[in-house]
Amino acid sequence: MRATGHVAFVASYGAKLGRWLSIVGRPDEAEPLVDLARKFEGQETDWLWRQAWARVLAHRGEHAEAEALAREAVAILERVDGPTWQGDGYLDLADVLTSAGHIDKAVEAYGLALERYERKKNLAMVAQARQRLDDLKQPQRPTA
């Protein structure tokens, strides 16, 4: 791959695929893809591998490190002109915070994701972020 100049392309899409695999609950399959992306520097991979790896770590229960990486990704994304990417970063952060039980912080992050998606008029992600935010705000019923 290096000889043909496609390494950055593979790293970027590996990180994207790793993120989606983590989102759908397949973090073990995400790990080698994210690991590949971590080895290569490039604007998009700088935040994508952090987002994906944060989700993998959250699945493992390594919440402090997952939150730190998700926050690093958000900090990088705040310097990029891309409201949808920023929204994705905040959505990932919110999911990581939710998995750690930090509900108040997660509500704030979902709100920031929602604001970014609304600004971009990304209606599909507005609906998704709003649903997650509404679900989190619902009082939890005790289980029998």
Domain limits, the chain: 2-137
Q: Does domain 2-137 have CATH number 3.30.70.20?
A: no
Q: Please give the model's pTM, rounded to 2 decimal places.
A: 0.85
Residue whose tokens read 């994705």: 88
- The two structure tokens encoding residue 27: 């973090």
Task: Give just the sign of the alpha carbon dihedral 88, 81, 42, 13.
Answer: positive
34/15 Cα distance (integer angstroms): 5
Tens-digit pLDDT string for the chain (144 aa): 444 457 667 777 888 888 888 888 898 888 888 888 887 766 667 898 899 999 999 999 999 999 999 999 999 999 999 999 999 999 999 999 999 999 999 999 999 999 999 999 999 999 999 999 999 888 765 555
